[in-house]
Structure 1
Amino acid sequence: LAVTSKCAVRFSGAFPRAAMSLISKNDCVEILRSKLGDDHFQLEDFTFKYFEELLGFHANHAGLTIKAILNGTVKDFKFFVKTGSNNPEIKEKYWNVLRQFYKEHVFLTNLVKILQNFVDQKITADCYLSKLENVCVLEDLGGLGYETCHLEYPDMVHAERAVQAFANF
Structure 2
Amino acid sequence: MKVAKSCSQCRAAKRKCRTGATPNSACAMCAHKGQNCSLLTSLSLNRQKFIAPAVTEPATWKEVNDEVRDELVDVYLQLIHDKPHTLFHPTTLRARVQTGSLPEAVLYSILAFAARLAGDHTIQERAKVFSHIAKEALKRTIDKVTLDNVHASALVGNLCGIEGDSSGESLFFGQ
TM over 0.5: no
TM-score by length of structure 1 reads 0.29
Structure with the greater alpha carbon radius of gyration: 2
Query: Relative to total residues, which structure has the larger strand share, 1 or 2?
Result: 1
Q: Pick 1 or 2: higher relative contact order, CA cutoff 8 A, min separation 6.
A: 1
- Normalising by structure 2, we get a TM-score of 0.28
Structure with the largest fraction of helix: 2
